[in-house]
Chains A and B, each alone.
Chain A
Amino acid sequence: MRGSSISKRLCAAAALAFALAACNATDYAKPISTFADATTAADAALTDLSTAATDKFAQQLLQRARTDPGIVVTQSQGDCDVRSAHCRIVLMDPNAPTQAQVYPPPQVIGDLLLVMGEIRDYAQNLAAIVADDSAAQAQASVTATLGSVQTLANTVAALDKKGTTTVPAFATPVGSAVNWVLGEYVNQVKLNALRTATREADPVMQRAVGLFEGAAFFGFELQRRELSSIATKRIDDYSRDRGNATKLEAAVAAAHAYNELLTANPTDTFKKMGAAHAALTDALQHPDLSLPQAIAAIQSFAKDAQTLAMVAKNLNALNAKK
């Protein structure tokens, strides 16, 4: 009688859990993990772009310090004394002392990198929730518990001189039911977390995409300008000395380096990051309608992000060799 009541409650809980769940969090495991990897690649690319832009800024400051007599090279106020905590060089225009610039300069987009780092962490948190195996661990514990309870019941029955045969072997069927409910419950916790987080993050993500597009565009502009200038100069050098094979090879190599840079479209990559996140958010709210579109958008973003990360890394290596 009592067992029947427990079974009814389990069935009701399971039915409720099933109705609430409607789909499985594991359906999103692959797209979310791809999105997290692509976001990590985009973060690496932005970091490399920032490093290259900061190096360029440092060169500009150095040139200004050497050539502009209106700039004073001095120490930061309170710095470089015997009891100072720091000793930093600053470049200062005496007519605008509040705009003094520390040399070497910090990352030009240091705060933007922090935001990108938060987005990378966010994507990895989503992936960690989907990959979390707490349900499996809890289910193993439930099975162990029910095994112990049955041992306990058998012991009590033996003590009662009634023998184990009168104790129903309930561990397996009840354990399966409990484990099924537990699995659905954990699935529901995961789906709720994914739905809530993506819904809350999406407007912020779209706003951040605008910032990253701008930062990637102007960060790349610096590189484009430099490689374009080198390529046109090498071509002109050869035009002035048409018989020189070395200069022709140098022109071809410079054109090739610039061409490689042009294969990456940094602003599109971040635009696709926003589109992929919007599609994922939509797919979590309406799984039957939009999961395939989300997967396609995430894959497109992932492809671009890997290319951008590779190009930005190569550019940094090129800059380091100078």
Chain B
Amino acid sequence: MSDIGSADAIITAAKAVLVNLETLSGQIQGEIEAIKLAAARERRPLSEADGNRMDALEADKDKVGDAIDELSIETLIKLNNSSDVAAIKEKLDSVNGGLSGTLTRLRKIARTAATAAQVADGLAQLAQTAAALAV
């Protein structure tokens, strides 16, 4: 699971292989369809030979499908280990740190204003107390 390159290179290479496998799968399915169409044109149900041939073709198609699955999983693992991931995460960490700092700053403005209000209120009460004593 070592770093094997950039995301673009990984995706391009994997898609090229995938196209070939999907073409092959499509050709096999085409042969299966041809068997069904031939029987329908002759207005007859599928024969035992048709069934056997379809079974063999479906088994081949499953093998191609398994190869597509392996390719997909292998590509996902390569993308997960690509050189891009760590760099992107590091930069996003930094941006998120900046945004958290701004949120803290905004809350500090509210706290400072609240503290000033408490001080002013305390002073006013103190003056009223002093005034009451002076009368």
Contacts and interface: CB of A to CB of B under 8 A. Distances in A.
Interface of A: 53, 56-57, 60, 108-112, 114-115, 118-119, 121-122, 125-126, 128-129, 132, 134-135, 137-139, 141-142, 144-146, 148-149, 151-152, 155-156, 158-159, 182, 185-186, 189-190, 193, 196-197, 200-201, 204, 207-208, 210-211, 213-215, 217-219, 221-222, 225, 229, 232-233, 236, 239-240, 242
Given A108-B73, A214-B75, A189 B95 contact: no
Given A189-B102, A197-B95, A239-B46, A109 B76 contact: yes
A128 B91 CA distance: 20
6 contacts: A125-B100, A208-B92, A214-B7, A218-B79, A219-B72, A239-B36
Given A115-B92, A189-B105, A215-B79, 15 more contacts: A108-B80, A111-B85, A118-B96, A122-B96, A129-B106, A151-B124, A186-B106, A214-B11, A218-B79, A219-B72, A219-B76, A221-B68, A222-B69, A225-B68, A236-B32
Contact of A145 (B68, B70, B107, B117): B117
Interface in B1-43: 7-8, 10-11, 14, 18, 29, 32, 36
Contact of A211 (B46, B72, B85): B85
Query: Which of B11, B87, B94 has the largest number of chain A CB atoms within 10 A?
Result: B11
Nearest to B132: A155
B120 A112 contact: no
Interface of B: 7-8, 10-11, 14, 18, 29, 32, 36, 45-46, 51, 54, 58, 61-62, 65, 68-73, 75-77, 79-82, 84-89, 91-96, 98-100, 102-103, 105-107, 109-110, 112-114, 116-117, 120-121, 123-124, 127-128, 130-131, 134
Contacts of B65: 225, 229
B107 to A, nearest CB: 6
B73 A57 contact: yes
Contacts of A204: 88, 91-92, 95
Given A138-B113, A219-B72, A219-B76, A210 B103 contact: no
Contacts of B45: 242
A190 to B, nearest CB: 7
A141 B79 contact: no
B124 A149 contact: yes
A146 B113 CA distance: 11
A317 B51 CA distance: 34
B73 A56 contact: yes
B16 to A, nearest CB: 13
B76 A108 contact: yes
Contact of A190 (B7, B69, B106, B112): B106
